[in-house]
Amino acid sequence: MSAAPKIRVQRTGRHAVVTLDNPPMNVVCAALTRELYAALRELERDSEVRAVVLTGAGERAFCAGSDIAEIKELLTPGTVLEKKLIFQNKVFELLRSFPKPTIAALNGYTYGGGLEIAACCDVIVAEEQVRLCLPEIKLGLFPSSGGTYRIARKIGEARAKRMILTGEPIDAPTALEWGLVNDVVPRGEALSHAETLAVAIAKQPAQAMRAAKRLINACFDGPEAALVAQSLMESDQIFCSADAVEGVSAFLEKREPRFE
């Protein structure tokens, strides 16, 4: 029996909804990343789709980060780059530079890789109960798919360092105050609010929107390729460190890590 799809795409009028569907917490795994890439490429070619909404299946999480059990197998030199991060960074950058407007509808926990996905979108809508976090430091790691520089560009150096160095979550109102999300809505309303925005945006001229996105993105870019390359180099070293082995083991064993 083939595995259930981890990405669902539904077209409605001139927009599409992409749902991360890896229960119970929609974590990022290799299969989800591959399917997200395929879905984005297909929607990129679909001239009928003028805007894309990303959300998570269920009510608990948009995406609670990477599959830690999968990471456990990647803690040797070079392995995490080859089997996870190079392609994952490629997919996330495809989302960031996607030629059509993208809206993230956060309906629950948005942690780690989930926040990195959301940060690639043009607009972020969060329900009032949502918590946002970059907890990788607690595993002896750091955000390795754009969470460092993309979050810093959105909320500034000081706040990004606070989030990343403590690994503690912030709530949706704080994320709104910091400029990490655009809108906060009542529980259960993120998707409908995001789709309303998508309908309005899809009416706008596609060529002008593409040009506007390119120019806005460019004004925040250092050379993105250089940032990705540096992040990958650092990740390869960190993922095979003793602290990473201890952090991931402690998470899976449900105990406090003992970092040396």
Q: What is the pLDDT of residues 61-84, one digit of tens each?
A: 999 999 998 988 888 888 988 999
Model confidence at 224: pLDDT above 70: no
**High-pLDDT (> 70) share of the chain, %:** 97
Residue 44 lies in a domain: yes
| Averaged pLDDT for residues 147-156 | 94
The CATH number assigned to the domain holding 69 equals 3.90.226.10
Domain range holding 72?
7-202
Residue 73 lies in a domain: yes
* CA–CA separation, 66 and 72 (whole Å): 11
Tally the domains of the chain: 1
With bands split at pLDDT 50, 70 and 90, how would you rate the model's confidence at 243?
confident
pLDDT number for residue 74: 87
pLDDT number for residue 221: 65
Model confidence at 183: pLDDT above 80: yes
With bands split at pLDDT 50, 70 and 90, how would you rate the model's confidence at 209?
confident
Residue 218 lies in a domain: no
Model confidence at 1: pLDDT above 70: no
Model confidence at 218: pLDDT above 80: no
Determine contact, residues 146/119, Cβ cutoff 8 Å: yes
Residue 64 lies in a domain: yes
Q: What is the pTM of this model?
A: 0.88
Q: What DSSP letter does each residue of 204-225 carry, written as one string?
A: S-HHHHHHHHHHHHHHH-S-HH
105 DSSP β-pair partners? 55, 125
Question: What strand order describes the sheet that includes 170-171?
Answer: 61-63, 109-111, 131-133, 170-171
Stronger pLDDT, 234 or 155, i.e. the higher one: 155
Catalytic residues: 116, 136
Interval 79-114: pLDDT, tens: 988 999 999 999 999 999 999 999 999 999 999 999
SS (HEC) of 44-109: HHCCCCCEEEEEECCCCEEECCECHHHHHHHCCCCHHHHHHHHHHHHHHHHHHCCCCCEEEEECCE
3-class DSSP state for residue 118? Answer: helix
Residues 6+ apart with CB under 8 A from 49: 11, 14, 15, 16, 43, 100
Place of tokens 């910091």: 178
Q: What DSSP letter does each residue of 6-46 carry, written as one string?
A: SEEEEEETTEEEEEE--TTTT-B-HHHHHHHHHHHHHHHH-
18 DSSP β-pair partners? 9, 54
With bands split at pLDDT 50, 70 and 90, how would you rate the model's confidence at 211?
confident
Model confidence at 118: pLDDT above 70: yes
* CA–CA separation, 16 and 54 (whole Å): 9
pLDDT number for residue 4: 92
pLDDT number for residue 169: 98
**High-pLDDT (> 90) share of the chain, %:** 71
pLDDT number for residue 222: 61
Residue 69 lies in a domain: yes
Look at the alpha carbons of 63, 57, 20, 18 in this order and tell me if their dihedral is positive or negative: negative
Residue 150 lies in a domain: yes
Residue 22 lies in a domain: yes
Residue 251 lies in a domain: no
